[in-house]
Amino acid sequence: MQEDPMEEPIPLHIHLVSDSTGETVSAVLEAASSMFPVLEPVTHVHPFVRTRVALDEVMAALEAQPGPVFCSIADTSVSSELFERAARLQLEVVDVMAPVVEALSRFGGERRIERPGSQYRVDAEYLERVAALDYAISHDDGLGPDYLLQADVILVGVSRTSKTPTCIYLAYQGIRAANVPLVSGEAPPEGLFEAQRAGLPVIGLTASPQRLAQIRRHRLSNMEISGENAYADIHHIRDEVTDARLFFEKHGIPMIDVTRRSIEETAAAVRVLLRRSRVPS
C-alpha cells in the first residue's frame, strides 16, 4: 500500500524503556517505524531503568506525554511493575524481547539470567571489536603492505563508495576492514596485490555514476568549492566507475553495488561474501 502524498503525518509520542543503554529497543523501533511513513514519532529514551526511583521518573514522563511504551528489561519485577502502572494510564506496553526469550526458553528451560546489560561484556570479543575500530580509524586509506596484511577483508573502490563508514561499521562487529581507494590515473598499491596473493579477501565497492556525482557535488558544496571540478564531473566519474569495474573483473574481485544500500546493508553483504570465501570448494 503506497503512502498518500496528501496524508497528514501523525505525531506520536513513543517511550523506549531499557535497563541498559536502550540500543536494542531503539533498533527494533527504528526498523518497525520505517514501515509506517505516515507516523511522525517523537521518541523518548529512558535508559538504565533498574530501580523504582528510575521507574517513577518514567511514569512521570508517560503522564506528561502519553504514548505507547516499548521496553527491554531483564528484571521481571521491574518490567511487571512497568506493565501494571502503564495499564492504569491505559497505555500499551510491548516487551520487544519477550517473543525471543519465550522461544529460547523452550530450549534452555528456566536456566536464564536476569542481568541488565548482559550483552555488554568486556571480554575477548569486546576487546577485538575495540582493536578492529582502532585499526579502521588509524589506517583510513592506508596503503602500506604491512597494514593490509593485518586485515580480515580489504574494501576497494573509487571515492565516495562508502569504504570508510563501512570499515568502521564492520569494526563494531569485530572485523578488521582495510580501505584502499582507486584513484584515476594512478596504479593501485602493490600492497593490495601482495595481500590478495596471501589469500586475504578483497571486495570491490561500486555505485552508479549519477549517485556518485550527487554525493561529490554535495561534498564540494560543504567544502565551499565552486566552479568546474573533474571530481564531480559525471563524464569523468563514468570513466572512473568503468575502470574500477574492469579492474575488479581482471583481478577476480567480487563487487557490491552500494548505490541503494545503507552502510548496514553494505556491511551485511560484505559478511556474506566473507562467509562464502571461507567455505571450502
What single DSSP character describes residue 228?
A: -
How many alpha carbons fall within 13 Å on the CB side of residue 184?
14
Largest CA distance in the chain: 69
Q: Are the C-beta atoms of 15 and 44 separated by less than 8 Å?
A: yes
242-251 own/partner pairs: CB under 8 Å, 24+ apart: 243/182, 243/184, 244/157, 244/158, 244/182, 244/204, 244/206, 245/204, 245/206, 247/182, 247/188, 247/204, 248/156, 248/204, 248/206, 251/193, 251/196, 251/202
Beta bridge partners of 204: 156, 255
Binding site annotation covers 162?
yes
Which cell is 99 given? 517473543
Q: How many CB atoms lie within 10 A of CB 133?
A: 18
Q: Are the C-beta atoms of 110 and 140 separated by less than 8 Å?
A: no
Beta bridge partners of 16: 45, 70
Binding site annotation covers 164?
yes
Rounded CA-CA distance 12/39 in Å is 7
Q: What is the residue whose three cell numbers read 586485515?
A: 151
Binding site annotation covers 161?
yes
Binding site annotation covers 42?
no
Rounded CA-CA distance 168/165 in Å is 5
Residue ranges for the binding site?
Answer: 157-164
Residue ranges for the binding site for ADP?
Answer: 157-164
